[in-house]
Amino acid sequence: MKVPALVMASLLAVSVSGQTTKPVKKVKKTVSKTKKAESPKPVKTAETKFVPRKDTVLGTGGACPACGMG
Amino acid sequence: MMPEADFVSAILPILQNNSVDVLEWSFDTFYDVEEPEWLSGLLDFYAENDRLLGHGVYYSLFDARWTSRQKDWLQKLKEEFRHRKYNHITEHFGFMNTENFHQGVPLPVPLHSKTLQIGKDRLKRLQDAVEVPVGVENLAFSFSIDDVKEQGEFLEKLIEDIDGFLILDLHNIYCQSCNFEIDMQEIIRLYPLEKVKEIHLSGGSWQESAYGNQPVRRDTHDDDIPDEIIDVLPKALSQCLNLEYVIIERLGHTLDTDEKKQLFFNDFNKVKGIIEVSDFPTGETKAWNKRKGESSEPIEDLQLYHEQTKLTRILFDENTAQSVKNEAFHYFKPENWDKEMIATAQQIIKKWNPY
């Protein structure tokens, strides 16, 4: 089955550029247009620990756990 | 199909010479994320030509509770199938029931009337969501030789109500063969081979034994297909009379050198050569008919749910294999489990950290 030239060209471009194709979240970044006010001196607070949200996909290098032995 | 540039680079030669007859895509790994245009273009092209297979990862067939996670998964599945045509859809045997659904690892469940009932219920809901045949893949991981020996029977019972089919993953069977010292053919014969519509091939890796024994074989999809699998393939092709597809699995980021790409290319051609001289495909295609049934309330079992949660937790925590074996369960029988495989489950769970 012959893959159309246009599709092949796009694959070739990906291959050549070696661009990272990590999934991009469908969340638009908000752009702040206001000038930041000078912040007061930082106050020391307790260190916060990163807790993954339910159903977050953490960066795993593209590996797949599905077979159960990965 | 994998979305990494290294993978694209590796498959370019076989796409260019029109050798790739079918693609398999794990659509749910891209739920909530945007597909790059080149990927959509390729998947759409294969879909439009009736050559795209859907392979789910995160539905969790044996989760003893029915929650919004599975409902959402099915809803997104419907959207995906409205948007793109798949020839069929498959999922994996096992359960993942931790808070972070996308970080779980499927663990096997024992054959029991309740576990079977739950699996059938989830599979029926999956079939109701789509208009294509539904199948289940055998799991590589087993706690004991009993798990290995009963999986074929379990899968046969699981799919019988929906006229479902099986993926026979030969590397998963190779893992069991190495880890429990059973001949691959002996395990293959325990499966209802007339139900096999698809075969998976892949490579994996060796993990050092926690007890100074033989290394443990793991299904990591990061190396070439072992010769033992290539050797058993012709026979497997002749045994599976309703086989339609043979898929080679490989993680995209593990094809990062020209040498690895060349070896992957060689594997592809080796498999293609074996298929060409075999009687597969037979020319006759079995019809896998969707069964209509009345909708009912989801089946749940709180005791099983608590046991699944407890098991995942004690494997994640640093308990000794012996203390895991000493834990009391109703459904699970850890006293019969292999210590080596308990240690392996602990390592896999640590790697994927479901919490």
Q: Is B219 on the interface with A (CB under 8 A)?
A: yes
- Tracing tokens 């497997």 back to the chain, one arrives at B236
Tell me if B33 and A25 make a contact (CB, 8 A cut-off): yes
pLDDT of residue B38 exceeding 80, the answer is yes
B2–A19: do the CB atoms touch at under 8 Å? no
Query: Does residue B95 belong to the interface with chain A, where contact is any CB pair within 8 Å?
Result: no
- As a whole number, mean pLDDT of residues B26-51 equals 95
Give the number of C-alpha atoms closer than 13 A to the C-alpha of residue B122, restricted to the C-beta side: 29
- CB-closest option in A13, A53, A64 to B251: A64
In this complex, the residue of A15, A21, A65 whose CB is nearest that of residue B3 is: A21
pLDDT at A36 over 60: no
CA dihedral B65, B136, B267, B9 (to 10 degrees): -50
pLDDT of residue B294: 73
> In the structure, what pLDDT confidence band is assigned to residue B227 with cuts at 50, 70 and 90?
very high
Burial of B91 (0-12, 13-18, 19+ CB in 10 A): buried
pLDDT classification of A66: cutoffs 50, 70, 90: low
Is any Cβ of chain B less than 8 angstroms from the Cβ of A40?
no
Set of chain B residues whose Cβ sits within 8 Å of the Cβ of A57: 33, 102-103
DSSP state of A53: P
**B69 neighbourhood in chain A, CB within 8 Å:** 55
Residues 265-284 of chain B whose Cβ lies under 8 A from any Cβ of chain A: none
Share of chain A above pLDDT 70, in %: 26
Give Cα separations from B96 to B64, B157, B270 (angstroms): 10, 21, 35
A32 to chain B, minimum CA–CA distance in Å?
Answer: 24
Closest CB to B5: pick one of A6, A19, A68: A19
- Residue B269 pLDDT level (bands cut at 50, 70, 90): very high
User: Is the predicted pLDDT of residue B97 greater than 80, yes or no?
Assistant: no
Helix H or strand E segment including B89: strand B89-92
Which residues does chain A have within 8 Å of residue B18's beta carbon, measured at their own beta carbons? 1-3
A27 touches chain B (CB under 8 A): no
Looking up tokens 């693609």 gives B23
Q: How far separated are the first and last CA of chain A, in Å rounded?
A: 32
* Interface predicted TM-score (ipTM) over 0.95: no
Nearest CA in chain B to A51: B355
Q: What is the pTM assigned to this prediction? A: 0.88
Q: What tokens does B353 get?
A: 């950290």
Question: Residue B241: pLDDT above 60?
Answer: yes
Per-residue confidence band for A2, with pLDDT thresholds at 50, 70 and 90: very high
* Closest-CA distance of chain B to residue A47, Å: 20
Report the alpha-carbon distance of residue B154 to residue B112 in Å, rounded.
9
pLDDT of residue A37: 53
Please give the pLDDT value at position B64: 96
Nearest CA in chain B to A5: B16
Please check the confidence at residue A42 and state whether its pLDDT lies above 60. no
- Do B51 and A1 make contact, defined as CB atoms within 8 angstroms? yes
Residue B63 near residue B90, CB atoms below 8 Å: no
Q: Is B21 on the interface with A (CB under 8 A)?
A: yes
The stretch B212-231 carries a mean pLDDT of: 95
Instruction: Give the pLDDT band of residue B104 (cuts 50, 70, 90).
Output: low
Give the mean model confidence (pLDDT) for residues B213-221: 93
CB neighbourhood size of B75 (10 A): 12
Location of structure tokens 């087993």: B142
* B217 alpha-carbon distance from chain centroid: 16
